[in-house]
Amino acid sequence: NAGVMQNPRHLVRRRGQEARLRCSPMKGHSHVYWYRQLPEEGLKFMVYLQKENIIDESGMPKERFSAEFPKEGPSILRIQQVVRGDSAAYFCASSPLLTENTEAFFGQGTRLTVV
Amino acid sequence: QQQVKQSPQSLIVQKGGISIINCAYENTAFDYFPWYQQFPGKGPALLIAIRPDVSEKKEGRFTISFNKSAKQFSLHIMDSQPGDSATYFCAATLTGSARQLTFGSGTQLTVLP
């Protein structure tokens, strides 16, 4: 059973371009979380999705950022018109049906560099 | 209200020593406190976790101590090894919610051989 797969591992974009980050959850997992890690900082929650639904996007910047988790295919975090401040590591985590003992498993992250 | 404060920012320990990392939280509704270990270039991996109904949990060389009244919890790594060198994050969450984690800022641990 493969773990949470994120791609690309590294992404370089020029200011103003779009960045698309992909996350394939573990098999059987229907819940996906996106976190952002700025250099020398902890992870900050961005958005929580289930298939075809955004459950909580309270951590998402109001503009330029969007996320989806379609019925088929990976979850996508999309950043439009990237700026230097978007440079960070973006981690995806997935979990199965939520119960008291549910754990979320993290992918290896996508490191976005905006030049 | 949602913050988790972690200290120290960095820690250097001799092989065989005890590493201690501390965290404090503000939201008394948090009911699950995991610790994550992260190696360079990797994602965080769950190390050990505790619920507030117990004051201590031990798994091998790793122990979490929990003080509910003080809203503090700590990670102790006994007999620290060079392979333990990594960044450690404490976190907190509400199990009844969407399970998003609130992370501390991390502690970079270096264990000298």
* Banded pLDDT at A39 (limits 50, 70, 90): confident
Residue A7 amino acid letter: N
Inform me whether the C-beta atom of residue A72 falls under 8 Å from chain B C-beta atoms: no
Å between A107 CA and nearest CA of chain B: 5
Do B44 and A104 make contact, defined as CB atoms within 8 angstroms?
A: no
If you measure CA to CA, which chain A residue comes closest to B39? Answer: A108
Using alpha carbons only, what angle is made at residue B69 by residues B65 and B74, rounded to the nearest 5 degrees? 20
What does the pLDDT look like over A4-26, one tens digit per residue?
A: 999 999 999 999 999 999 999 99
With CB atoms and an 8 Å threshold, state whether A56 touches B98: yes
Beta strands in chain B (DSSP E): 4-7, 10-14, 19-25, 33-38, 45-50, 56-59, 62-67, 72-77, 86-92, 102-103, 107-112
Checking DSSP bridges between strand B4-7 and strand B56-59, what pairing results, if any?
unpaired
Residue A98 has pLDDT above 70, yes or no: no
Cβ contact (<8 Å) for B89 and A107?
no
Q: How far is B7 from chain A (nearest CA, A)?
A: 12
CA distance A98 to chain B (A): 8
Q: Among all residues of chain B, which has the CA nearest to that of A9?
A: B41
Is B88:B101 a contact under the CB 8 Å cutoff?
no
Q: What pLDDT, in 10s, does the model give residues B75-97?
A: 999 999 999 999 999 999 886 55
Decide: B34 and B101 in contact? Cβ < 8 Å: yes
Q: Do A108 and B41 make contact, defined as CB atoms within 8 angstroms?
A: yes
Q: Which of A35, A40, A104 sits opposite B99 (nearest CB)?
A: A104
CB pairs under 8 A between A and B: 56
**Chain A residue at shortest CA distance from B104:** A42
Whether the pLDDT of residue B111 is over 80: the answer is: yes
pLDDT of B41 over the 90 cut: no
- Dihedral (CA of B98, A103, B102, A3) sign: negative
By C-alpha distance, which of B50, B41, B55 is closest to B90?
B50
**B43/A103 Cβ within 8 A:** no
**Cβ atoms within 10 Å, residue A28:** 10
Average pLDDT, chain B: 92
Long-range contacts of A50-54 (CB under 8 A, 24+ apart): none
Distance (Å) from the C-alpha of residue B65 to the closest C-alpha of chain A? 20
C-alpha pair distances (Å), A98 with each of A32, A101, B61, B99: 11, 8, 29, 8
Residue B16 has pLDDT above 90, yes or no: yes
- Return mean pLDDT, chain A: 92
For chain A, percent of residues with pLDDT exceeding 70: 94
Contacts of A6 in chain B (CB under 8 A): 43
Q: Give the separation between CA B1 and CA A112, rounded to whole angstroms.
A: 30
- Please give the DSSP secondary-structure letter assigned to residue B101: P
Two tokens, residue B18: 């005890």
Return the minimum-mean-pLDDT range out of A69-73, A76-80, B2-6: B2-6
